[in-house]
């Protein structure tokens, strides 16, 4: 797998949301993406997944240029994502949510094999007892789990998770945490966008920091967290440390 993001610029009228962002992911790894609100994280995600067109720049996936492609075409090439706000199909059942992406594209696919795969994923996500429930009857956290499970049905190589822990009960957060580790162990690359610093620093093998549309840091988390520009822009200083400096 190889995702190359090259000099991505995005302008919204007079506002430049992304100012030439570049990075490459070329191996299974868990990449944390952090930055203050409005830094451009979701805009970057939307551009990578085809929901927004960049003003300039290029995106390549496994040697194929994908900027300008439609989101469904990018998803079919193995790049999946979840949304900050849960987007389960609320008036389909849990099982239908899991199966519709694969079976709608290929109605001749082996339904029993698909169902078996869906049941295994749902069991891991502790949703197996809700298979025939409508998604709308699930809690917000359960819907988030369902969205994560649905993503795995497509077997993507690279996954972008946008705030998977936001608004989720701590017990379910633990399930999501385990899910991310398991997906990573299965050899996928994950870009994890989160404001939950504990999870980011525990899970990430590499950390990128966006600030005002610029990638100001990209490296091992322990190095990135000590960078003065990252501390100034996002992480902040401890009060004691500030007092010492004063």
Partner 1 sequence: MLTPTVWDASLFHASPQLAVSGEFVLRLIIDGLMIGIIYALMAIGLTLIFSVLNIVSFAHGEFYMLGGYIVYFFLQTFEALPPLLSIVAAAIVTFAVGFLFERIFLQPMARGEVERPNEYAILVTFGLAFFLQFLMLGLVGPFPKKAHRLFDLPQIEGTFFRTTKATLFLGDITISAGRLFAALIALLALAGLLWFMYRTWTGRALQAVSQDRNAAAVVGINPLNMNTLAFSMGAMLAGLAGAVLVTVYSWVPWVGVPASSKSFVIIVLGGMGSIPGSLLGGLIIGVVESLGTGLFPDPARAQAYRDVFGLVIFALVLLLRPTGLFGRKL
- What is the binding site for partner 1 (CB under 8 A)? 49-51, 70-73, 75-76, 80-81, 83, 87-92, 96, 99-101, 103-105, 107, 147, 150-151, 153-154
- The candidate with the shortest Cα–Cα distance to 183, out of 169, 164, 207, is 164
CB of 81 to partner 1, least distance (A): 5
**Of 20 and 140, CB closest to partner 1:** 140
**Of 58 and 96, CB closest to partner 1:** 96
What is the rounded CA–CA span in Å between residue 69 and residue 65?
Answer: 8
Which residues 6+ apart lie within 8 Å of 133 measured at CB? Answer: 93, 94
CB of 186 to partner 1, least distance (A): 18
**Of 147 and 218, CB closest to partner 1:** 147
**Of 92 and 227, CB closest to partner 1:** 92
What is the rounded CA–CA span in Å between residue 13 and residue 21?
Answer: 18
**Of 99 and 130, CB closest to partner 1:** 99
CB of 180 to partner 1, least distance (A): 18
CB of 243 to partner 1, least distance (A): 47
Which tokens go with 8? Answer: 């991505």
CB of 222 to partner 1, least distance (A): 33
DSSP characters for 41-104?
Answer: HHHHHHHHTTSS--SEEEEEETTEE-TTS-HHHHHHTTEEE--SS----TTSBHHHHHHHHHHH
């Amino acid at each position: 797998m190889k995702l190359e993001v090259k000099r991505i610029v995005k302008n919204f009228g007079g506002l430049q949301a992304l100012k030439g962002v570049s990075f490459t992911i070329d191996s299974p790894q868990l990449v944390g993406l952090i930055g203050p609100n409005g830094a451009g994280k979701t805009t970057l995600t939307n551009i990578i997944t085809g929901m927004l067109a960049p003003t300039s720049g290029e995106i390549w996936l496994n040697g194929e240029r994908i900027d300008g492609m439609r989101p469904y075409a990018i998803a079919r090439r193995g790049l999946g994502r979840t949304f900050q706000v849960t987007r389960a199909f609320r008036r389909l059942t849990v099982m239908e949510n899991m199966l519709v992406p694969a079976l709608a594209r290929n109605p001749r696919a082996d339904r029993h094999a698909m169902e078996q795969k869906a049941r295994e994923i749902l069991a891991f996500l502790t949703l197996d007892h809700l298979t025939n429930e409508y998604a709308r009857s699930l809690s917000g956290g359960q819907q988030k789990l369902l969205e994560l499970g649905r993503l795995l049905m497509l077997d993507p190589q690279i996954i972008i998770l946008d705030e998977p822990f936001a608004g989720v009960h701590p017990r379910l957060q633990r399930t999501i945490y385990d899910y991310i580790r398991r997906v990573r162990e299965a050899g996928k690359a994950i870009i994890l966008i989160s404001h939950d610093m504990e999870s980011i620093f525990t899970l990430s093998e590499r950390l990128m920091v966006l600030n005002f549309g610029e990638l100001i840091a990209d490296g091992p988390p322990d190095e990135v967290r000590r960078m003065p520009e990252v501390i100034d822009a996002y992480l902040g200083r401890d009060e004691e440390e500030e007092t010492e400096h004063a």
